[in-house]
């Protein structure tokens, strides 16, 4: 993965193919034990995220996850999209998202992006260098040879990447007490978008805490 020179955050732009099918005994044992609590963890995430969605959906400019009828969302990630067109600001979607992320971060809400570009736009698909720079599979499978990965063919994915952010902290043991604070932070930020715009270029790196998404 590439690293952004300024923020030291991963861009998630794959340039080569990699395979990691292996697993080790210790993480396998931990995962097996945690599976016994899967239903409990799923229920807590659903409760947390349902609470957020029920309250954030009424804020102009915020779009919450859509859950089709008859389906259950267990929220490995909780993503929201920002639409400045629905507010009284003149910022572009990407500018608006960055400004909101910084403002929410300063209010104590951990937010940020994971994928920063559509998968077909990543270097591995643009260069078709393949596994070990051999060009495999594009050079060796006839039906793959003329495949086109023009980023312009994915306008919805590009638009999503401009608008979305992930709200962290929705996993157990966190509960509704923290979700209420998140809602308060969203309401505060969106009640004063003029002030938010003024801080668009502040040197704030809004993202998850820890090293999961950050390079040392």
- Sequence-separated contacts (24+) of 200-204 with Cβ below 8 Å: 200/91, 200/95, 200/98, 200/99, 200/102, 202/102, 204/102, 204/105, 204/106
Crossing angle, helix 93-106 and helix 155-163, to 10 degrees? Answer: 30
Report the alpha-carbon angle 3-171-103, nearest 5. Answer: 55
pLDDT of residue 212: 38
pLDDT of residue 1: 55
pLDDT of residue 131: 82
Q: Which residue do the tokens 């608008």 mark?
A: 163
- Regions of the chain where pLDDT drops below 70: 1, 6-7, 208-216
pLDDT of residue 166: 95
Whole-structure pTM over 0.75, yes or no? Answer: yes
């Amino acid at each position: 993965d590439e690293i952004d020179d300024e923020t030291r955050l991963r861009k998630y732009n794959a340039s080569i193919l990699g395979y990691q099918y292996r697993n080790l005994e210790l993480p396998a044992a931990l995962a097996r034990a945690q599976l016994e609590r899967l239903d409990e963890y799923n229920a807590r995430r659903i409760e947390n995220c349902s609470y957020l969605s029920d309250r954030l959906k009424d804020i102009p400019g915020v779009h919450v996850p859509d859950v089709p009828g008859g389906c259950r969302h267990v929220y490995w990630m909780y993503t929201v999209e920002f639409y400045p067109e629905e507010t009284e600001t003149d910022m572009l979607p990407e500018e608006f998202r960055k400004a909101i992320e910084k403002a929410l971060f300063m209010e104590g809400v951990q937010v940020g992006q994971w994928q920063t570009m559509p998968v077909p736009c990543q270097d591995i698909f643009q260069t078709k260098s393949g596994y070990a720079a051999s060009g495999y599979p594009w050079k060796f499978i006839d039906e793959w040879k003329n495949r086109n990965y023009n980023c312009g063919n994915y306008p919805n994915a590009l638009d999503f990447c401009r608008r979305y952010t992930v709200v962290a902290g929705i996993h157990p043991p966190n509960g509704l007490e923290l979700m209420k604070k998140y809602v308060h932070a969203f309401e505060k930020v969106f009640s004063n978008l003029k002030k938010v715009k003024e801080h668009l270029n502040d040197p704030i790196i809004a993202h998850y805490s820890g090293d999961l998404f950050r390079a040392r």
